[in-house]
Amino acid sequence: MQQLFIKKWMYLEKTLSVMCKKEPKLTVVGAGPGDAELITVKAIKALEVADVVLYDALVNEELLEYVNPNAELIFVGKRSGCYHYQQDQINELIVARGHSHGHVVRLKGGDPFIFGRGAEEMEYAAGFGLQTAVVPGISSSMAVPASQNIPVTKRGSSESFWVITGTTKEHKISDDIALAAKSSATIVVLMGMGKLPEIIGLFQKEGKQDVPVAIIQDGTTSREKIGVGTVDTILEIVENQSLKNPAIIVFGEVVRHREILSNIAVQHKEKQLVCL
């Protein structure tokens, strides 16, 4: 009788274990450009129900306060030029934790579908039976210039904008930058600081020496720095101000909007002083 009871109990325990096992799922979440307040409500909700969170170096760590307190946190980004995990290892980790823990949230800076490898990770996870979902984020390509009063489009100045990676997976400069340099559009270059002299050379080749350029480092954060010049002067400005990655490079007439607004503000203050 006792042996029968033990067998029934073991069977019940095994059945409950199978029933309670969580469905493996990957949600790729955009953390926004850096400011912790620029994350979406939907992203916060995903963090609150995560079982595991894999996050990158560009993610503001204040956002981890939203994570389910019982979730496992794993840093998978790059710091001081050193990778904690290679991309293949991250893919494998997503699948392994999905099957062992349930809901994996992959938290990425900016928007995960704009040079964020979010699509690649979802494809890999889906191939191993994980459900997949994405929560878009506010892209640094638009938000960081906006934080410095630089619109990527403006009537009469720019009818379109390009967002280009400065460095391809082969660690070469993107061919698209040469095409973009021929355009009158706003050009936003991500991950381009390592190739900046080459990028500037392409614009000079097209006779764009006087085109305004802004370089914004650590955009939307308390560490934000900006250098503004032209194609011909920006390299010297970068050196003088010690600008470096992570930074966004903006080429185009829209860069002048920042100065225009500043001048309007000064004129308004001067008028107020005259009235007093």
Strand partners, 73: 53
CA angle 170, 173, 178 (to 5 degrees): 140
Q: Catalytic residue at 22?
A: no
The 10s digit of each residue's pLDDT in 118-150 is: 999 999 999 999 999 999 999 999 999 999 999
Q: Which of 191, 195, 208, 218 is catalytic?
A: 191
The 10s digit of each residue's pLDDT in 242-253 is: 999 999 999 999
Q: Where are the domains of the chain?
A: 2-138, 141-260
pTM of the model: 0.86
- How far is it, in rounded angstroms, from Cα 201 to Cα 203? 5
Q: Which one of 3.40.30.120, 3.40.1010.10, 3.40.630.30, 2.30.42.10 gives the CATH number of domain 2-138?
A: 3.40.1010.10
Q: For the chain, what percent of residues have pLDDT higher than 70?
A: 88
Tokens representing residue 76 in the block? 């998978």
- Is residue 51 a contact partner of residue 69, using CB atoms and an 8 Å limit? no
Q: φ, ψ for residue 9 (rounded to 5)?
A: -65, -40
Q: Catalytic residue at 1?
A: no
Closest CA to 146 of 32, 263, 237: 32
Q: Which of 78, 172, 182, 205 is catalytic?
A: 78
Helix (H) or strand (E) holding 29: strand 25-30
Q: Which of 35, 51, 56, 111 is catalytic?
A: 56
- Of the pLDDT bands very low, low, confident and very high (cuts 50, 70, 90), residue 19 is very low
Q: Which residue in this structure is represented by tokens 């307190």? A: 69
- How far is it, in rounded angstroms, from Cα 35 to Cα 174? 28
> Looking at domain 141-260, does it have CATH number 3.30.950.10?
yes
